[in-house]
């Protein structure tokens, strides 16, 4: 199974859920069966170009947003990358700390 299909499927599912859309609702908007949405989200199928366009429209996102996988990195890799960046940039450290204070 293609890694890109799996990543694309995970991203579609993630965006769909964040917008409170069910698989049934997305399937209806796209004009395909719910099982096909499930197959797309699990990476078994890749959407056709036409269905991809309909998915983008139904989820109200730009096409490139469904191919943004960087956030799917393992947590350990993200931590390592952040720690390295913070060690080398005091201003970034201060900015992230201010953000942290607003969300904690």
pLDDT given at position 75:
79
Query: pTM value?
Result: 0.68
The least confident of 7-21, 32-46, 90-104 is 90-104
Closest of 34, 14, 32 to residue 23, by C-alpha: 34
Q: How far is Cα 17 from Cα 23, in angstroms, rounded to an integer?
A: 9
């Amino acid at each position: 199974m293609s890694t890109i299909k799996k990543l694309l499927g995970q991203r579609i599912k993630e965006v769909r859920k964040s917008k409170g859309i069910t698989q049934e609702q997305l399937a209806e908007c796209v004009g395909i069966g719910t099982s096909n949405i499930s197959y797309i989200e699990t990476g078994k199928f890749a959407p056709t170009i036409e269905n991809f366009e309909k998915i983008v429209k139904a989820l109200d996102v730009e096409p490139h947003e469904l191919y943004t996988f960087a956030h799917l990195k393992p947590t350990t890799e993200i931590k390592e990358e952040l720690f390295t960046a913070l060690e080398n940039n005091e201003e970034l450290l201060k900015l992230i700390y201010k953000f942290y204070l607003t969300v904690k």
